[in-house]
């Protein structure tokens, strides 16, 4: 974000972490599973990449579900399981 967009005097980068992103992850997972169940485009990754296998996609799907579950836990107010995370402080 060192250079502002054309025609603007300033550039801005905003990082937000909200628990409402879980629904977006769920819809992304649903769309992925519809394509993956048909093996759509899978041959591009398994045939033309080095060491590409379908197991990578299974692992990615599990990771996405786990991530969405973590955000849902935060939304309910439950403490996330895992290592403690430090709170980010804005630097102005």
pTM for this predicted structure: 0.62
59-91: pLDDT as tens digits: 999 999 999 999 988 888 865 556 666 676 777
77-90 CB burial, b ≥16 within 10 A, e <16: eeeeeeeeeeeeee
At 11-53, the pLDDT tens digits run 887 777 788 889 999 999 999 999 999 988 888 887 777 766 7
Q: For residues 3-33, b (16+ Cβ closer than 10 Å) or e, as one string?
A: eeeeeeeeeeeeeeeeeeebeebbeebeeee
Q: Sign (positive/negative) of CA torsion 15, 21, 24, 29?
A: positive
């Amino acid at each position: 974000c060192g250079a502002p967009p054309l025609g603007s005097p300033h550039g801005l980068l905003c990082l937000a972490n909200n628990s409402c992103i879980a629904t977006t992850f769920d819809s992304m997972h649903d769309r992925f599973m519809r394509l993956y169940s048909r093996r759509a485009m899978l041959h591009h990754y398994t045939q033309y990449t080095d060491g590409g296998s379908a197991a990578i996609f299974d692992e990615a799907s599990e990771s996405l579900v786990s991530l969405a579950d973590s955000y849902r836990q935060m939304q309910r107010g439950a403490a996330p399981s895992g290592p403690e995370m430090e709170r980010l402080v804005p630097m102005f």
